[in-house]
Chains A and B, each alone.
Chain A
Amino acid sequence: MTAVAEHVPAERVDADPALRVEGLTVDIRTITGTVRAVDAVSFAAHRGETLALLGESGCGKSMTATALVGLLEPVAEVVAGSAHIAGRDGLADLLAADRKTRRKLAGPELAIVFQDALTALNPLYTVGTQLAEPFRIHHGMKAKEAKRKAVELMARVGIPQPQERMKSYPHQFSGGMRQRLLIAMAVALNPRVLIADEPTTALDVTVQAQIMALLKSLRTEFDMAVVLITHDLALVAEEADRVAVMYAGTIVETGSVAEVFAEPKHPYTKGLLDSVPVNAERGAELKSIGGSPPDLHSIPEGCVYQERCPLAREICRTTRPPLEAVGARRKSACHFPGEVKNV
């Protein structure tokens, strides 16, 4: 993908992306046949920026993340694509890596923060032990030294009285504090790429604001590329630099958040933005997208969005629109991007 550099913030135009995903395709075997959950997804994330993967449930955004970190369920399988991470030892393809290489990359180069901190942490170990683990495994530190690093880390992510809380178990923390612990574990080894999979969905808004502020300051401090996976348009508007909108396993639109949200070039993005009850008069009819996303078993030929699209016509039923440039730094997978504003 030669066009990768075109979304880069000006000062990074020359730099290679920290993460470059190309043609990622994931199949899931089900009783009723194999379905394609992620279909030729390509994107790049640069250090110092936040890229949002935005979409509704079942669009493949979390499956993309799980594939990248190598935690797919056994029924799911990467059937095509590459994901190169610009690590300290040069480029490495995450999807082609064997277990040993992947283990070396997990932590120092790539880390993930999950939505549900309670299941992501081990309930049987103290948080101190869990936080010290990356230092012991990757840096070969002795227990005492690793624990000292863990205390530093807890203080950095804003956990009060870190020394005392080291001996606590995950269930003794509140939801917000558990999320801080997960973030601490993720950034422990200063990764180049941090994937945050709905990191604040389970949290209250005031806690969400705290967590997002923390992620932002860590992104700057460690110069990470953050891939934020979310369904929340307002969160994307506030936190991300660029956005990739996903629908039925494919990316339908990419570009800078400001441009995409101001003037979407794909009818699905437009439909999502219109569904937010933000400026609508109270009690007025909200615009909504009719129907529901296609069943992965029967994704139509042609455009994935045709069944719900007000612009759909003959070509949309026969030909899948490729994700193509629609302006200087934007792409859209629509046959009629110029007409989206009239929808």
Chain B
Amino acid sequence: MSNQLLSVRDLTKTFRVPGARGSKAKLSALDGINLDLARGETLGLVGESGCGKSTLARTLLMLERPDSGTVSFDGTDPFGLRGKELLKFRRRVQMVFQDPYASLNSRMTAGDIIAEPWRSHRTLHPAKRDRDTRVRELLDLVGLGAKAMDKYPQEFSGGQRQRIGIARALALDPDVIICDEPVSALDLSVQAQVLNLLNDLQRQLQISYVFISHDLSVVRHVADRVAVMYLGRIIETGPTEAVFDRPNHPYTAALMSAAPKLDAAQRGERILLKGEVPSPLNPPSGCRFRTRCQRATDVCAKERPPVALDLQVADHTAECHHPLLADQSALSRSA
């Protein structure tokens, strides 16, 4: 894609954690992640707790350093940057947090919260008058109005707080915003307002979103492309419609079928997965999903699964020995 903004190849991250009897164990949080993000695009990241979504998000924000793999952001590798160049990069990737209560300092006014990023990025709005004008603009942009400037977070509702969090992320004029469950703490009626706002902002400002959510109906609504994670790997990725409507990986199919659906017409037969996600301290050999997979055979325990390309939909890939769309898939060893 010509508009490619972010490209991640073979990213690996392992944490050393205390193991049995004082030993060290290796927790493999990310294991060979590939992903791409275009300008103005929304990538939905779905998966269950412990699958590595948050570690991936933290790595993209450069809060974690990967063990191996490459990240290319607009042509440069952010992990090779230092000093001013690094600061410049940090400006371009921002985050909106899940909890609008914990993520705002209750001793600062909304205006101060939004202006705080400029204390690190001094070149952006050096004059105080500029800053106030810009804060008002940002407050207007997120639908709060300039009056909100002097109020404290506790004077706002959950949805309004999340708007402050979004305004703070926008303050540095970023290219990418990582939204980590941005609406899951909000009530349904308010959730829709915030989703609409994120959508409007993307249209106006051409921001890219990495949108992490466990709510599949929300992801379906906002994402252009979806990546499904399981135990540190992206096991299926592709255009949103393709991943939702013709899942190729058995885990994706199970995940989609497990989510309750409002519309009876969308309910298929529910695939109940057995057991729970294995520990990332000791992931299964071969295919990581095989211990819970109905289609698993001997080969799944021995060999890492190949990439199954969907022959009908471009860019729709899954990692599976026995893809669901077997007769419409081409298996290939290399990505």
Residues in A with CB closer than 8 Å to B272 are 209-210, 213
Residues in A with CB closer than 8 Å to B258 are 205-206, 208-209
Interface residues in B, total, Cβ within 8 A: 41
Residues in A with CB closer than 8 Å to B157 are 292
Which residue in A207, A272, A277 is a CB contact (below 8 Å) of B189? Answer: A272
> Is the beta-carbon distance between B48 and A231 smaller than 8 angstroms?
no
B187 at the interface (CB under 8 A from A): yes
Nearest CB of chain A from residue B214's CB, rounded to whole Å: 7
Residues in A with CB closer than 8 Å to B267 are 238
Which residue in A207, A210, A288 is a CB contact (below 8 Å) of B196? Answer: A288
Nearest CB of chain B from residue A2's CB, rounded to whole Å: 33
Residues in A with CB closer than 8 Å to B188 are 56, 231, 233, 272, 275-276
B298 at the interface (CB under 8 A from A): no
Residues in B with CB closer than 8 Å to A206 are 48, 254-255, 258, 273
Interface residues of B in 214-261 (CB under 8 A from A): 214, 216-218, 220-224, 240, 254-255, 257-261
Residues in B with CB closer than 8 Å to A275 are 188-189, 191-192
A143 at the interface (CB under 8 A from B): no
A287 at the interface (CB under 8 A from B): yes
Residues in A with CB closer than 8 Å to B276 are 174, 176-177, 207
Residues in B with CB closer than 8 Å to A290 are 193
Residues in A with CB closer than 8 Å to B159 are 292
> Is the beta-carbon distance between B255 and A277 smaller than 8 angstroms?
no
A261 at the interface (CB under 8 A from B): yes
A343 at the interface (CB under 8 A from B): no
Residues in A with CB closer than 8 Å to B193 are 288, 290
> Is the beta-carbon distance between A237 and B270 smaller than 8 angstroms?
no
B85 at the interface (CB under 8 A from A): no
**Bound-complex Cα distance A279 to B217 (A):** 9
Interface residues of A in 289-316 (CB under 8 A from B): 289-290, 292-293
> Is the beta-carbon distance between B190 and A278 smaller than 8 angstroms?
no
> Is the beta-carbon distance between A277 and B214 smaller than 8 angstroms?
no
Residues in A with CB closer than 8 Å to B220 are 277, 282
> Is the beta-carbon distance between A277 and B187 smaller than 8 angstroms?
no
B199 at the interface (CB under 8 A from A): yes
* Identity of the chain B residue whose Cβ is nearest the Cβ of A57 in the assembled complex: B187
A33 at the interface (CB under 8 A from B): no
B262 at the interface (CB under 8 A from A): yes
> Is the beta-carbon distance between A285 and B196 smaller than 8 angstroms?
yes
Nearest CB of chain B from residue A196's CB, rounded to whole Å: 14
A235 at the interface (CB under 8 A from B): yes
Residues in B with CB closer than 8 Å to A235 are 260
Residues in A with CB closer than 8 Å to B224 are 282
Nearest CB of chain B from residue A10's CB, rounded to whole Å: 21
Q: Binary interface profile of B, 169-206, with partner A (CB < 8 Å = 1, else 0)?
A: 00000000000000000011111110110010000000
Which residue in A205, A261, A271, A293 is a CB contact (below 8 Å) of B259? Answer: A205
Residues in B with CB closer than 8 Å to A210 are 272-273
A74 at the interface (CB under 8 A from B): no
> Is the beta-carbon distance between A237 and B216 smaller than 8 angstroms?
no
**Bound-complex Cα distance A83 to B222 (A):** 44
**Bound-complex Cα distance A287 to B189 (A):** 9
**Bound-complex Cα distance A261 to B190 (A):** 20
Q: Binary interface profile of A, 183-220, with partner B (CB < 8 Å = 1, else 0)?
A: 00000000000000000000011111110110000000
B49 at the interface (CB under 8 A from A): yes
Question: With A204-B214, A206-B48, A234-B217 in contact, is A285–B262 under 8 Å at CB?
Answer: no
**Bound-complex Cα distance A227 to B266 (A):** 25
**Bound-complex Cα distance A20 to B306 (A):** 58
Nearest CB of chain B from residue A245's CB, rounded to whole Å: 12
B327 at the interface (CB under 8 A from A): no
> Is the beta-carbon distance between A282 and B192 smaller than 8 angstroms?
no
> Is the beta-carbon distance between B273 and A56 smaller than 8 angstroms?
no
**Bound-complex Cα distance A110 to B193 (A):** 39
Nearest CB of chain B from residue A46's CB, rounded to whole Å: 23
**Bound-complex Cα distance A310 to B2 (A):** 46
Question: With A204-B48, A210-B272, A276-B217 in contact, is A234–B192 under 8 Å at CB?
Answer: no
* Identity of the chain A residue whose Cβ is nearest the Cβ of B254 in the assembled complex: A206
Most buried by A among B189, B259, B267: B189
B102 at the interface (CB under 8 A from A): no
**Bound-complex Cα distance A235 to B267 (A):** 12
> Is the beta-carbon distance between B216 and A205 smaller than 8 angstroms?
yes
A283 at the interface (CB under 8 A from B): yes
**Bound-complex Cα distance A160 to B272 (A):** 16
**Bound-complex Cα distance A280 to B218 (A):** 10
Residues in A with CB closer than 8 Å to B217 are 234, 276-278
A223 at the interface (CB under 8 A from B): no
> Is the beta-carbon distance between A282 and B261 smaller than 8 angstroms?
no
Nearest CB of chain A from residue B206's CB, rounded to whole Å: 14
B335 at the interface (CB under 8 A from A): no
Question: With A204-B48, A277-B218, A289-B189 in contact, is A232–B195 under 8 Å at CB?
Answer: no
Question: With A206-B255, A234-B262, A282-B240 in contact, is A287–B49 under 8 Å at CB?
Answer: no
> Is the beta-carbon distance between B189 and A279 smaller than 8 angstroms?
no
Listed A/B pairs (18) with beta-carbon separation below 8 Å: A175-B49, A204-B49, A206-B48, A206-B255, A209-B272, A234-B260, A234-B261, A237-B262, A261-B262, A271-B189, A275-B192, A278-B266, A280-B221, A285-B196, A286-B192, A286-B196, A286-B221, A292-B157
Residues of A participating in the B interface, judged by any CB pair closer than 8 Å = 56-57, 160, 174-177, 204-210, 212-213, 231-235, 237-239, 261, 271-273, 275-280, 282-283, 285-290, 292-293
9 tightest A-B contacts by CB?
A: A288-B192, A277-B221, A289-B189, A234-B260, A204-B48, A209-B258, A56-B187, A275-B192, A286-B192
Given contacts A207-B276, A238-B267, A292-B159, 13 further A-B contacts (CB under 8 A): A204-B49, A209-B270, A210-B273, A234-B260, A234-B262, A238-B260, A271-B189, A276-B217, A277-B218, A278-B266, A288-B193, A289-B189, A292-B190
